[in-house]
Amino acid sequence: MSNNLKSIDSASVEMIEKARQDKVEIVWDRWEAQQPQCGFGELGICCKICLQGPCRINPFGEPKHGICGATADTIVARNLLRSVTGGTATHVDHAYEAVEILGLAVEGKVPYGIKDIGKLNAVASKLGLETENRTPQELAEKIVKIAFGDFGNSSGNPMRWLTATAPAERLEVWKNLGILPRNPDREIRAALHQSTMGVDADPVNLLLATAKLGLVDGYAGLHLGTDIQDIVFGTPQPVKTEANLGVLKPNCVNIVVHGHIPFFSEKMVEWTEKLEEEARLAGAEGIQLAGMCCTGNEVLMRQGIPSAGNYLNQELAIITGAVDALVVDVQCIMPSLARIAACYHTKVITTMPIAKMPGAEHVEFTPHEADACAQKIVRKAIEAYQSRDRSRVRIPDYKAEVWGGFSVEAIVGALKSVNPEDPLQPLVENIKNGNILGAVGVVGCNNVKTTQDYNTVELVKALLKENVLVVATGCAAHGLGKAGLLNPEGTKKYAGEGLKAVLTAVGNAAGLNDPLPPVLHMGSCVDNSRIEDLLAALAGYLGVAMKDLPVAASAPELHHEKALSIGTWAVALGVLTHVGLVPPVLGSPLMTRLLTSDLEQLVGGKFYVETDPVKAAAGIAEHIRQKRRVLGI
């Protein structure tokens, strides 16, 4: 594969070439070494759940059944349920830890506090708590008790965080289907039990269980995690920064934080500032902290920390020779990092007990010792800087301005500058009159199977021409930032005339003297919950079901189980959900039909698979037009 097919990002292309010159193996090399990949696995018809296997079904002949008698439909359904369960577990574990830390903060046992009283009161109100004459500590304590109550729920009642958050019409749909989740941990355990050998063989029943796990992800993972993190760190507000590998500085101690847990990365922001003078005494001009993946999104939207890139940039950051410490927590971390770092001076430092790596240093992060951990790591980076081989440093001269931090609260705040009494009115009015065709949430990962950022960027450019308002999270947001789609110039260059007029009017009313960006950065993976909050507000304002809104979701370059669990939740919400790579389900015509067609009759949403981003944008735009016709707009 030639470099120009590996990425549309010039910084990445330059570092891919440097890796070749430095004789360092990176992710694209390993992908080529894996070719051809297993066709049975790609179709989802390989089963290794029990030790009689692995079994595989031949779609063109024999065998038609696994050793236990499982059909292709059963195998695909079980594999999908297990993948979605795995994705759900990552977000639920993340959210549970956030609740734990808030509880410890209330008791004064950890160096964190309550930064956003407004969000605390908003969360308390949605949970039905009385907020008057209650101290923040009292409210936080009750919120923690309710959250832990979901995890200890032994009744048949659904999760309280779900019933307090989801629209009533959705609750009714899910109740009728029998998929309202109870205890998040119980549902994860039950899904693994249900999908094991010799239990459930009904693909439809397995698919309903998969939908239930999507709801667990949406409310015990995404919503819970975002709500708690906003309380502790503050709800994001618009902030300007930069994105791409060019944010690294040749004469500074460069530290990159990578992963998903803001409780650690926020402390890194604090201690890089506090230890700046130590870096100068070591001969550096200061410390440059940069983020990557969703940890990068967390500190970008709250602290204005620049982004060094997304998933496929993590090895390339080391290849620059300028990163002194790459600090990781959990999720989306390549085990190759320590091997690559051994070719340079970079220290790869793991911080979580469930995410260690051979060849890396480990500095254990605990909430109680958060300050000590962050100090230790920053000092290790300063030490590494002093052994940097400057002859091997090449920082690509590519970066773009990024406007991030568009929480729902921030979007409503911007709209208030147009209509203080009824902030949603300008948005709804411009959807009705066609200036805005509709809205699409673009989310998800990079995948080495497709050119880095190409699917995401081309899909969004095509949508913007159709006057579709785009919001973005996760690695997709990083890719769009690198491509110049998260700043006002992107609006001037790519937005259709109607959308451009609206974004310009709102930007000017807000005193920015510039349009809003054509893509609104809403945060990390867990912050997909913000997208649902926005959709729920619009549906409530219009008095329609969420499934009837002129909206869609897209994961153009998905690779992680988390993308499947988030996508399942989006479909359960009634949202058409595009995926730009084919999930491993095509070995079952029944499951393929259920996922891409029949589900719409049950929940109002379905999956839409299209690998060509321009064709996908056209399909999404047509879906939005159909929704508009039904609404009579």
With beta carbons less than 8 A apart as the criterion, state whether 259 and 295 touch.
yes
Reduce the DSSP state of residue 281 to 3 states and report it.
Answer: helix
Q: What's the CA angle centered on 8, arms 4 and 9, to 5 degrees?
A: 115
With beta carbons less than 8 A apart as the criterion, state whether 314 and 333 touch.
yes
Q: Which domains does the chain have, with CATH numbers?
A: 3-56 (no CATH), 74-233 (1.20.1270.30), 245-392 (3.40.50.2030), 402-631 (3.40.50.2030)
How much is the pLDDT for 484?
A: 97
Q: Could you tell me the CA-to-CA distances from 429 to 438, 504, 538, 542, 575 in Å, in that order?
A: 12, 16, 11, 11, 21
Looking at 243-402, list the stretches that DSSP marks H as alpha helix, in order from N- to C-terminal side: 262-274, 276-281, 293-303, 314-319, 337-341, 370-385
How far is it, in rounded angstroms, from Cα 436 to Cα 319? Answer: 42
How far is it, in rounded angstroms, from Cα 223 to Cα 225? Answer: 6
For the segment 578-627, what is each residue's pLDDT rounded down to a tens digit? 999 999 999 999 999 999 999 999 999 999 999 999 999 999 999 999 99
How much is the pLDDT for 2?
A: 40
Of 316, 351, 473, which Cα lies nearest the Cα of 407?
473
List of the chain residues with pLDDT < 50: 1-3
How much is the pLDDT for 4?
A: 57
DSSP structural state of residue 113: -
Of 518, 239, 193, which Cα lies nearest the Cα of 404?
239
Of 321, 317, 100, 84, which Cα lies nearest the Cα of 208?
84
HEC string for 190-249? HHHHHCCCCCCCCHHHHHHHHHHHHHHHHHHHHHHHHHHHHHHHCCCCCEEEEECHHHCC
Counting beta carbons within 10 angstroms of the beta carbon of residue 471, is it exposed (0 to 12), middle (13 to 18) or buried (19 or more)? buried
What's the length of the chain? 633
Of 20, 616, 556, 21, which Cα lies nearest the Cα of 1?
20
For the segment 73-88, what is each residue's pLDDT rounded down to a tens digit? 999 999 999 999 999 9
